Amino acid sequence: MLEQVKQVILVLSGKGGVGKSTVSTQLALTLKEKGFKVGLLDIDLCGPSVPYILNLECKNIHQGPEGWIPVYLDSEQRLGVMSIGFLLNSRNDAVVWRGPKKSSMIKQFLEDVCWQDLDFLVIDTPPGTSDEHITVMENLRPVKHCSAILVTTPQEVAIEDVRKEITFCRKTGIPIMGIIENMSGYECPTCSHCTNIFSSGGGHSLAELAKLPFLGTLPIDPRVGQLAGQGLSAFKEIPDSSTSKVFGHIVDSL
């Protein structure tokens, strides 16, 4: 129930595989570390990866008297997670649905999940601007504060698609918090030298062009994926890393 949510943060990207779920989970984990009560809603119906990323795949959603009870990552119930992945029999099950069925599932996620009082609901979306995005935008009215974070990799092909996300946000009236450039080079763990495997700076230039805040660059860091798999945040576990600093700054600016 969105009436129980103070602020929604949508995580959007033009392409798949650019790190949207990684950004969503690290953002949610950082918010939890900073003492907030957080929900993480995965609306990527055809490719739900949040249960896998957070190692919650064996968990099930239960029906309570007031609605679906999310899966909690921690015993203090500071981070609750909802994903269609919890409703599928196996990880290999495919969701082959047309738009109206997808929309009604998302409406149910927004209306029937008993989030309890949340400071933040982070929504991990599928790539692009499809039925899922439109349904979310149409149903966010009960929440006063909504904004979007756009994720891209530095390559021109990914940047091009983020331009479409900017247009989508402007058309639907959702404020854009800023752009994150992910996989922006590989930082050597021994000498900290950064190799720009996929070029660099594209996200920053786009932010300047579109007059949007640039939220920072995340290097390719295998530890990030490994930590999330244990439900741990880079912010707490590798506090001196670029990733931890970017998420720390984002959360402090909220």
Residues within the annotated binding site? 14-21, 188, 191
If binding means CB under 6 A, how many residues of this protein chain bind ligand ADP? 17
- In the set 182, 200, 217, 244, which binds ligand ADP (CB under 6 A)? 182
Max alpha carbon distance in the chain (Å)? 55
How many C-alpha atoms does 103 have within 13 Å on its Cβ side?
10
Residue 158: alpha-carbon gap to chain centroid: 17
Between 135 and 244, name the residue whose CB sits nearer to ligand ADP: 244
Which residue in 20, 32, 78, 102 binds ligand ADP (CB under 6 A)? 20
From candidates 222, 230, 240, 252, binder to ligand ADP by CB under 6 A: 222
Residues in contact with ligand ADP, shown as a per-residue x/- string from 38 to 77 under the rule CB under 6 A: -----------x----------------------------
Cite the annotated binding site for [4Fe-4S] cluster by residue number. Answer: 188, 191
Q: Does 19 bind ligand ADP (CB under 6 A)?
A: yes
* CA proximity to 47, closest of 99, 98, 91, 109: 91
Q: Which of 32, 29, 88 is nearest to 53 (CA)?
A: 29
Of 39 and 126, the one with the shorter C-beta distance to ligand ADP is 126
If the CB atoms of residues 35 and 222 are measured against ligand ADP, the closer one turns out to be 222
Single-letter amino acid code for the residue at 243: T
Give yes or no for residue 21 binding ligand ADP (CB under 6 A).
yes
Q: Does 224 bind ligand ADP (CB under 6 A)?
A: yes
Instruction: State how far the alpha carbon of 217 is from the alpha carbons of 75, 109, 227, 247, 250, in Å.
Output: 32, 31, 19, 10, 12
Q: Is 13 in the site for ligand ADP (CB under 6 A)?
A: yes
Chosen residue from 183, 215, 234, 250 binding ligand ADP by CB under 6 A: 183
Stretch touching ligand ADP by CB under 6 A, among 69-77, 102-110, 141-149, 214-222 = 214-222
Q: Which is nearer to ligand ADP, 48 or 80 (CB)?
A: 48
Mode of pairing for the β-strands spanning 176-187 and 214-220: parallel
Annotated binding site for ATP: 14-21
Q: Does the footprint of ligand ADP cover residue 133 (CB under 6 A)?
A: no
Cα–Cα dist 228/231, whole Å: 5
Q: Which two tokens stand for residue 85?
A: 């992945």
Tell me the C-alpha to C-alpha distance, in Å, between residue 194 and each of 218, 223, 226. 11, 16, 20
- What number of other Cβ atoms are within 10 A of residue 245's Cβ? 15
Contact with ligand ADP (CB under 6 A) among 221, 233, 234, 244 = 221
> Which residue, 5 or 234, is less far from ligand ADP as judged by CB?
234
Question: Cα 57 vs. chain centroid, distance in angstroms?
Answer: 18
- The beta-strand segments (E) located in 140-175 are 145-152
- Number of residues assigned to the chain: 254
> Which residues make up the interface to ligand ADP (CB under 6 A)?
13, 16-22, 49, 182-183, 218, 220-222, 224-225
